[in-house]
Amino acid sequence: MKRRTFALAIGLGVAGLLAPRLAVAEDHLAQAISHTKEAIATGEQGRADMLVTHAEAALQHAEAAEKAKSNTHTEDGIKHLKAAIDEGKKKDSGAATPHAKEALTHLEAATK
């Protein structure tokens, strides 16, 4: 009986330590997805400057999510967000928007 109680206490302790970190990662991922959708919408309107603004915000959240919980989809999303930012800074929303869309695909896959 004491072993079960001890094992339960250890398990709950570990879960308590990990749960907040996972919740933070999911929140950052949700914010990254939201900003990426905004980047796509403004990119489709030809507004490269706003695409860059939203993509940079998405990038910050994606990097925070990656730091909290590593995931290959998040890594790929970060790469595409950086590419979208680079193209957007060149005022080329036509080249930046597909990168933002690819980033969104990866970030959404990271939530599953």
Does the pLDDT of residue 9 top 70, yes or no? no
Ranges assigned E (strand) in the chain: none
DSSP assignments along 53-108, one per residue: HHHHHHHHHHHHHHHHS--HHHHHHHHHHHHHHHHHHTT-HHHHHHHHHHHHHHHH
Contact residues for 44 (Cβ-Cβ < 8 A; gap 6+): 93, 97
| Encoded amino acid at 92, one letter | D
As a whole-number percent, the residues of the chain with pLDDT over 70 amount to 79
Does the pLDDT of residue 94 top 80, yes or no? yes
Per-residue pLDDT averaged across 41-67, rounded? 95
| Structure tokens, 9 | 């206490």
| pLDDT tens column, 14-39 | 555 554 554 555 789 999 999 999 99
Domain ranges of the chain: 25-110
User: 25-110 has which fold?
Assistant: Four Helix Bundle (Hemerythrin (Met), subunit A) (1.20.120)
| pLDDT tens column, 63-81 | 999 998 889 999 999 999 9
Does the pLDDT of residue 43 top 60, yes or no? yes
Q: What is the mean pLDDT of the chain?
A: 87
